[in-house]
Structure 1
Amino acid sequence: MAKQAVIYKTEAGEREILRRYEEILAGWPVPAGRHHVPTREGDTFVLVSGPEDAPPLVLLHGSGSNAAMWAGDVAAWARHFRVHAVDMIGEPGLSARSRPPLDSTAYADWLDDVLDHFGLDSAAFTGASLGGWLALDYAIRRPRRVDRLAVLCPGGVGRQKFGFLFKVALYRPFGAWGLRRSIKAVAGVDPGDTPEVADYLTLMFTHFQPRRDRLPVFSDEALRGLAMPVKVIVGARDAMFDSAETARRVENTVPHAEVTVLPDVAHSIIGQTQPIMDFLTR
């Protein structure tokens, strides 16, 4: 069994995060099956919805999150796809706490186990942030298993920024209010606009231990190997990744890719359900 990491600050905090997650799952907008998939990294939770005979779509969430991040998208996507929303290992969901090195084949091997469990030779993939990095990593290492690739604010392409840590430290002494302010400053999530999302992120980062490793950057050669249809969406005000560099590198190395830069959007990208649907069903 893979080594399990410490990902929660306290057991009480873990219970509160998972309690809230169960509430979200209980209100999932479409019927869904819960699967605990055995893998080499430990059990992996996958929420599956949509027609059994529909083409498969795999969703990979960002760091400090779980399948709940797709609750606003899944109803539309599940009309056309058999949607597999995966809780990434080492993150605050219902999967194992394993965190193998990011610069290894471990995550591709783990996803092989997930796809094999469902009998999927290949699938379309959509990922956000860390999940975008993971989707790109898998597409580069397993190109025959990725039919289409849509990523939101992906890591591993543009420069990873760390200036946001100053803002986090600045607001840290101010408790829950400061945490909400730092979430707005870093992710662009405004508690006044999306209070439920802001509250959930506040809960996560009150009790969750985020990864500290720098994301490996994909080489130009690796990106040039992406022959499948690719769509990349970034926010120009992203505080975590250099979106301009992400767009430029993708345009230069994957000329057939569709690249969208949202001018007034930060790291948290919402409202892209239909554009991604249009791309996936083309």
Structure 2
Amino acid sequence: MSTIYKSEAGASEIQRRYREALRAWPVPAEHIHVPTRQGETFVIASGPEQAPPVLLLHGSGANATMWRNDVTTWSRHFRVYAVDLIGEPGLSAPSRPPLDSDAYALWLDDVLEALAITSAPIVGISLGGWMALDYATRRPDRVTRLALMCPGGVGRTKSAWLFKAVLLRLFGRRGIRRSARSVAGLEKLQDQSVLDDLVLTFTQFKPRPAQLPRFSGDALRRLTLPMQVTVGDRDALFDSADTAQRIRQCVPHATVRLLPGVGHSIFDQTDSILAFLRA
């Protein structure tokens, strides 16, 4: 049994639902299995092959299907590569090398080389935002733009959500649903299938136990590429005000947007990110 799941049955159910979502992908797509030093990596490629590339990196406890509401618009202008992060509940290898190393940059080197991408903009959210920032600080010549939503590793990590999540679990499935809504910032979500998938992940997937390393001011100041950072002021996981302040101080040319009343899950950014990518 893979160490990133709590049971074989849970792993099978998560992957079954993922494959169903892949069949409902809204645009024609190519499924690519990329060999890397961390094991096989799964990539969904959409859009014209001759179009400029853009790389999408999802958050923790998710997979590439989180971009399904964006890909129709973005793939009209780009060759969109939605990557399943290693060690997450997608179809990539369960590898979890140390976060405080260059292992993820080397892994992305392998992914880009296999896709024949020399350089590209990266869109990342949460853990994917951390990986995008980590890669840009280590490989500035390979990243042309960064569009980040609630990126980890910038603002302080909050701990109060963990106590609340553990407490709500005592109330069974109902408590788990409330916990999932609260932590992910999905209180206003109407699509119950999304919440059902999240609850399944909460109950069967093992998140990374290590806290994301925080980027130093020097590392952030080395970023000279165009950046757009979007955070919600009700994020239960990261201190968004601290994220916004550090980006404004260390990367003064970046565009920073602090969305009122928005939690960790940020929706409806398709057009604003597209405008940034095409600027």
Q: Compute the TM-score of the two structures, normalised by the length of structure 2.
A: 0.98
Q: Would you say 1:41 and 2:9 are equivalent positions?
A: no
Shift >6 Å, 4+ stretches: none
1:227-266 equivalence runs, <5 A: 227-266=224-263
Question: Deviation string for 1:206-228 (max 9, x for gaps)?
Answer: 11011110100001110011111
1:166 and 2:163 correspond? yes
Find the counterpart in structure 1 of residue 153 from structure 2.
156
Q: CA deviation at 1:194?
A: 2.7
Residue correspondence of structure 1 range 1-282 to structure 2 within 5 A: 6-190=3-187, 193-282=190-279
SS in 1 for 2:141: helix
Aligned AA (2:167): L
SS at match of 1:154: coil
The superposition leaves residues 91-146 of structure 1 with CA deviations (integer Å, 9 ceiling, x where unpaired) of 00000000000000000000000000011110110000000000000000001000
Q: Secondary structure at the match of 1:90?
A: coil
C-alpha distance 5-135 of structure 1, shift in aligned 2 (>3 A) = farther
Q: Please state how far the C-alpha of 1:190 moved relative to its aligned partner.
A: 2.9
AA matched with 1:269: I
**Secondary structure of the corresponding residue to residue 59 of structure 2:** coil
TM-score for the superposition, normalised by structure 1: 0.97
Partners in 1 of 2:121 and 2:173 — Cα distance?
A: 38
Aligned pairs, number: 279
Question: Does 184-193 or 53-62 show the bigger shift?
Answer: 184-193
Q: Return closer, same or farther for 1:113/1:192 CA change in 2, 3 Å cut-off.
A: closer
Unpaired segments ≥5 residues, structure 1: none
Tell me the distance in 2 between the aligned counterparts of 1:176 and 1:272: 31
Unaligned runs of 5+ in 2: none
Question: Could you say what secondary structure the match of 2:171 adopts?
Answer: helix
SS at match of 1:125: strand
Query: 1:211 is matched by which residue type in structure 2?
Result: R
The CA distance in 2 between the partners of 1:220 and 1:96, in whole Å, is 32
Contact 2:153 2:213 in 1 (8 A): yes
Q: Distance in 2 between matches of 1:5 and 1:233?
A: 34
AA matched with 2:34:
V
**1: CA distance between counterparts of 2:238 and 2:178?**
19
Deviation at 1:177, TM superposition (A): 1.1
Percentage of identical aligned residues = 61
Deviations 1:241-272 (A, max 9, x none): 00000000000011110000001100000111
1:192–1:259 CA distance, 2 compared to 1 (3 A): closer
Residue deviations 1:73-98 (CA, integer Å, cap 9, x gap): 11101011100000000000000000
CA distance in 1, matches of 2:46, 2:189: 31
**2:275 counterpart letter in structure 1:** D
What secondary structure does 1:143 align onto? Answer: coil
Distance 1:245 1:194 in 2: 31
Aligned partners of 1:244, 1:169: CA distance in 2, in Å? 25
1:166-201 superposed Cα distances (whole Å, 9 cap, x missing partner): 111111122221111001211111375231221111
Is the Cα–Cα contact under 8 Å of residues 235 and 265 in structure 1 kept in the other structure?
yes
